[in-house]
Amino acid sequence: MTNVGYQLERYGLVIVWLAVIALFGALRPETFLTWSNFSSIFGSEAVLVIVTLGLIVPLTAGDFDLSIAQTLTFTSMLTAILSARMGVPIGYAIPIALAAGAIVGLINGAITLYFRVHSLIVTLGVGTFLHGITLWMSDSQTISGVSRVLMQYVIIQRIFGIPVSFYYAIVLAALVWYVLSYTAFGQQLLFTGRGREVGRLTGVAVGRVRMTAFVVSGMMGAFAGILYTGTTGSANPTSGTTLLLPAFAAAFLGATCIKPGRFNAWGSVIAVYFLVTGINGLSVLGFRTFVHDLFYGGALVVAVMVSQLVSGRKERTL
Amino acid sequence: MPGEIHGLLGKNGSGKSTLIKILSGYHKPDEGTLEVDGRPVPLPIPLGRSEAIGLAFVHQNLGLLPEATVLENFIAGDHARAGQWFINWQAEAARARRLFGQHHLDLDPWATVGDLSPVKRAQLAIVRAADRVGSHSEDASAGLLVLDEPTPFLPIEGVRELFAMMRRLKETGVSIIFVSHDIDEVMEITDRITVLRDGHVIDSFDTAATSRTRIVEAIVGRSLTQERLVHAEPLANVPMMSASNLSGRIVRDLDLEVAPGEILGLTGLIGSGFDEVPRLLAGAQLASAGRLAMPGGAVHDLTRMQPADAVAAGIALIPADRQKLGLALDLSLTENAMLPMAARGDHCFLLDHRARHAKTAELMRRFVVKAESPRQAASELSGGNQQKLLLAKWLQLGPKLVLLDEPTQGIDIGARREIYERLLEACAAGAAVICATSEFEQLELIAHRVVVFERGRVKAELRGGEVTKSSIEAACYGETRTYEHG
C-alpha cells in the first residue's frame, strides 16, 4: 500500500465527517451550521464518547462489556437518588457512584474469568440485572432535583462556548490513547486480545489484565452515568438503553481510522461525533426518530465490514 | 484380502496418511486405480461415498463428540437410516445394545462419551465404523475398516481389548487395515504387513514368516549420515537444571538433567510423551507431579508454576505451534519481539517506540530475519522467518534453559541451518537446550545426548558418537521392555 493510500485510510472517516457537515450545512445553513448547534452536540454527546472509550478497553483485551450502558443508567440513578432524595453532598455521591461502577466491573470479570463463561453472556446478564435494580430503586420514575453543583461542573460552565463535559471526554480520550499506545500495560492488553496464549506463555498475567479492563470499563460507565445526571439534572431509568448500540458502532467504526485495524481512542472520538452529526443533520432535515436506529444499526454493520477488510491487509504501528 | 488384518507401517512422511486420505476421498490421487472386492472404483472417491463401496475409517481422534451420548454418536452420520423426521430413540438404543453385545462391548447407549475410558471410546468408534460398512455396503460384503493409529494413547490393557475386538471382527469377515508406528503391535495383530517409505511400497511381508529386524530394515532403509554440527562437549558436567519425579498426562516419573552448553534431544514415537516435557518445564501445562531445580538453588514446584514464573527463572519455551502460541500474527514484528519486556513491565509508563523498533531491527539483523521493516505484521513473514523471529524474541533474554518443541516444523533447509547455528551460539554462551522433536536427522546434527521415550517413560539414552539417525531409529522401533511385561 502506498503511503498516500495509507494516510487516506487513516483519515478517511474525518474526511467523510467533514463531507457530511458540508452536505447538511448546504441544505440547512441557518439551523444546522450554527455554533450553538455544534456546541450542544459536543457537550451532550460527551457521555457517548466516554461509554465508547470504556468499551474499547475490554474490546482490546478481547472481551465484550454489554453491561456498560446499564452501569451508566444505574450509577446515574444512584447519583440522583443520593443527591436529590438523601441529600448526600455531590462530593460524596461521585466517589460512591464510581466505586459502584468498579464493583460491577469486578463482578463481570470474576464471573468471566473464574467460571470461564464468555463475557458476552456474562455482561448481557449482569446489565439486565442492573437495569432491574435501577427500575426497582427508582420505582420506574425519573428522579429530578439533583444538586445544581453537579450541573454547574458538567454542562453550565463553558470553555470557548462548549460545556466542560466535552473536555472531560477529551482528557479521558487522551488518557486511553496514552495507555494503549505508550505503556507496557497497553501492550499487555493488546496481546491479551490478539494472542492470548502467546501473551500468557511470555509471562503476561492475562487474567489480571482482563480483570483490570472490566474494572476500567465499569468505572468509565459510572463516570458517564454521573455526567448524564449532570447534563439533565435528573436521572431516568431507561437513559442508557439507547446508548449501547451507538457506542459499539462508534468503537468499531473508530477502529477503521487513525490506527486502522485497532480499537483506538481518537478514532472512537471521531466516530462518535461523525455518527451524532449525521443523526443531528437528519433530524434538522425533518426526519423522525426512526432514523436513529437506521443510522446506528447501519453504521455498526458497515463498520465491522470495513474493519474486516482492513484487518485482512497490512497493518502499521507507530 | 477378505477377513484379513493388514498392517501398514512407515515413518513420518512415508505416505501412510496420504494413502488414507486418498481412500477416504479427501485427496485426489495423481494416478492409479483402486479395486474393492474385485470391482474397480473410480477415483477420486466422492466424499461421503466411501461407506457405500465398503470402506470405513477410524482416525486417531476417533471422530466422537464427547458432550453427546453414546447413542447420539453411534447414529451420527447415519440419520438417513435412523429416520429423517423422527428418530425412534428406544428402537435405536435396542439396536445399539444388540450390536454392542455382538462385539462383547459393555456400553450404556445413554452414557456420555466424555465419561468413557479411552478404550471404550475407541471401541465405540470401531463398532460404529463396522456397522456402517456392514449396513451400507451396496453388496453383502462385510467391508473394510481402516484404523489409523488408534492405539498410541491407550494403556496396554486397552490395546489388548482392542485387539480382541479386531480379531472377532475378522472372524465375521471384515477386513482391516491397521496403521501404526508400533512394530510390536503390528506384529502381534496382523496377518500381513506392508511397509511404505518415501511414498513407495518397500515390501510386503507375511507376518508369521518374517522377523522384526527385517521389518525395521524396511522402515528405516539405508540412512545417509550428515556431518554433525555439534562438536564441543557440554561446558560443564554439573547440571544446569534438573527435573525430578516429573509426571504429566503421558510422562511418568521422569528424572532429567541438562548441563550448561548441552543440547539434549527428546524423541520417541507419536504418543510416547516426549513432546510434553518442554511444556511441563515451562509451566505452559501444569504437571501432576514434579520439581525443577535451577542454578542458584531455586526449586520450582511444577504442579503450580505459571509461565510468568518460568520466564522470570530464565526459562524460554519455543512452542511447536508458532502461529498460535509463539507469535501474535496480526501484530507487528516489534510488538512480538519486544513482548517479553512489555510483559515484564519494563519502561511501563513510557514506551519509546523508536528504541523498540531499533532494537527489533538489530535482532532481525542478528537472527537473519528477512522482512521489509519491523513495523510489518508477523503474518507477512514466511514460516522460517517467523521461527527466527520467535527465536530472537527469546534468545535476546539470555535464557538459562531453552525449551524447543519441533523447532523446524515446516521450515526449509536454509532456515533450519540458521536456527541450528543460533542454538549452538546460545549453547556456547552457556545456556542448556532441550529440544523435543520427531525428526531424528535434526538430533543427529545438533544433540549431545538423546533420550528416547516410550509410553511416557525413558526407553533409551544415547550420547556422543551414539547419536546417529539410525541408532535413534533403532532405539525408537527397538524391542520394548515395558510392553512385554504388560
Select, from the ranges A127-141, B126-140, B235-249, the one with the highest average predicted confidence (pLDDT).
A127-141
pLDDT at position B210 is 83
Residue B332 pairs in a beta bridge with: B377
C-alpha cell at B240: 544446569
Residue A310 has pLDDT above 90, yes or no: no
| Minimal CA separation from B405 to chain A, in Å | 14
Sequential DSSP letters for B115-134? GS-HHHHHHHHHHHHHHHHH
Would an 8 Å CB–CB cutoff place A201 in contact with chain B? yes
Would an 8 Å CB–CB cutoff place B68 in contact with chain A? no
**Element housing A141 (H / E):** none
Nearest CA in chain B to A201: B307
Residues of B in contact with A314 (CB under 8 A): 376-377, 380
Categorize the per-residue pLDDT at A187 as very low, low, confident or very high, splitting at 50, 70 and 90.
very high
Region label for B409, one of left (φ > 0), alpha (ψ between -120 and 50) or beta (otherwise):
beta
Categorize the per-residue pLDDT at B241 as very low, low, confident or very high, splitting at 50, 70 and 90.
confident
pLDDT at position A133 is 96
| Minimal CA separation from A15 to chain B, in Å | 26
Q: Return the axis-axis angle of helices A164-182 and A35-44, rounded to nearest 10°.
A: 60
Q: Which of residues 278-317 of A touch B (CB under 8 A)?
A: 311, 314-317
| Minimal CA separation from B319 to chain A, in Å | 9
Average pLDDT, chain B: 83
Residue B135 has pLDDT above 70, yes or no: no
Nearest CA in chain A to B309: A203
Nearest CA in chain A to B308: A203
| Minimal CA separation from A288 to chain B, in Å | 42
Residue A311 has pLDDT above 70, yes or no: no
Q: Measured between alpha carbons, how far is residue B345 from residues A1, A58, A177, A215 in Å? A: 34, 20, 18, 20
Tell me the per-residue pLDDT of A243-295, one tens digit each, with 9 for 90 and over. Answer: 999 999 999 999 988 888 899 999 999 999 999 998 888 888 888 778 888 88
Residues of A in contact with B335 (CB under 8 A): 187, 190-191, 317
Tell me the per-residue pLDDT of B427-483, one tens digit each, with 9 for 90 and over. Answer: 888 899 999 998 888 888 888 899 999 888 999 888 887 888 888 888 888 765 444
Would an 8 Å CB–CB cutoff place B289 in contact with chain A? no
pLDDT at position B101 is 86
Categorize the per-residue pLDDT at B298 as very low, low, confident or very high, splitting at 50, 70 and 90.
confident
Picking from A214-223, B164-173, B304-313, which range would have the lowest pLDDT averaged per residue?
B164-173
- Tell me how many residue pairs between chain A and chain B have CB atoms under 8 A apart: 102
Would an 8 Å CB–CB cutoff place A183 in contact with chain B? yes
Categorize the per-residue pLDDT at A2 as very low, low, confident or very high, splitting at 50, 70 and 90.
low
Nearest neighbour of B343 by CB, restricted to A188, A314, A317: A188
Categorize the per-residue pLDDT at B363 as very low, low, confident or very high, splitting at 50, 70 and 90.
very high
pLDDT at position B485 is 37
Tell me the per-residue pLDDT of B61-73, one tens digit each, with 9 for 90 and over. Answer: 788 888 889 988 8
- A2-25 average pLDDT score: 86
C-alpha cell at B185: 503391535
Categorize the per-residue pLDDT at B309 as very low, low, confident or very high, splitting at 50, 70 and 90.
very high
Would an 8 Å CB–CB cutoff place B341 in contact with chain A? yes
C-alpha cell at A270: 471521531
Residues of A in contact with B351 (CB under 8 A): 181-184, 186-187
* Contact between A202 and B307 using a beta-carbon 8 Å cutoff: yes
Picking from A20-29, B74-83, B179-188, B221-230, which range would have the lowest pLDDT averaged per residue?
B221-230
Residue B227 has pLDDT above 70, yes or no: no
* Contact between A317 and B375 using a beta-carbon 8 Å cutoff: yes
Measuring CA to CA, which residue among B366, B364, B379, B392 is closest to residue B332?
A: B379
Q: For B194, which DSSP code?
A: E
Substitution target from A177, A178, A187, A259 for chain B, most B beta carbons within 10 A: A187
Measuring CA to CA, which residue among B204, B183, B208, B206 is closest to residue B194?
A: B204
Nearest neighbour of B342 by CB, restricted to A188, A195, A201: A188
Would an 8 Å CB–CB cutoff place A198 in contact with chain B? yes
CA–CA dist B219, B188 (Å, integer)? 17
Share of chain B above pLDDT 90, in %: 27
Would an 8 Å CB–CB cutoff place A187 in contact with chain B? yes
Are the beta carbons of A196 and A206 closer than 8 angstroms? yes
| Minimal CA separation from B410 to chain A, in Å | 20
pLDDT at position B18 is 78
The total of other beta-carbon atoms located within 10 Å of residue A238's CB is 12
Nearest CA in chain B to A204: B343
CA–CA dist B121, B158 (Å, integer)? 11
Residue A38 pairs in a beta bridge with: none
Would an 8 Å CB–CB cutoff place B348 in contact with chain A? yes
Residue A315 has pLDDT above 60, yes or no: no
| Minimal CA separation from A101 to chain B, in Å | 25
Residue B308 has pLDDT above 90, yes or no: yes
Residue B152 has pLDDT above 80, yes or no: no
CA–CA dist A198, A186 (Å, integer)? 15
Question: Could you report the predicted ipTM of this complex, rounded to two decimals?
Answer: 0.88
* Contact between B324 and A197 using a beta-carbon 8 Å cutoff: yes
| Minimal CA separation from B12 to chain A, in Å | 28
| Minimal CA separation from B443 to chain A, in Å | 25
* Contact between A183 and B339 using a beta-carbon 8 Å cutoff: no
C-alpha cell at A64: 465484550
Would an 8 Å CB–CB cutoff place B298 in contact with chain A? no
Measuring CA to CA, which residue among B279, B249, B313, B284 is closest to residue B406?
A: B279
Would an 8 Å CB–CB cutoff place B284 in contact with chain A? yes
Nearest neighbour of A184 by CB, restricted to B325, B347, B376: B347
Would an 8 Å CB–CB cutoff place A6 in contact with chain B? no
C-alpha cell at B46: 466422492
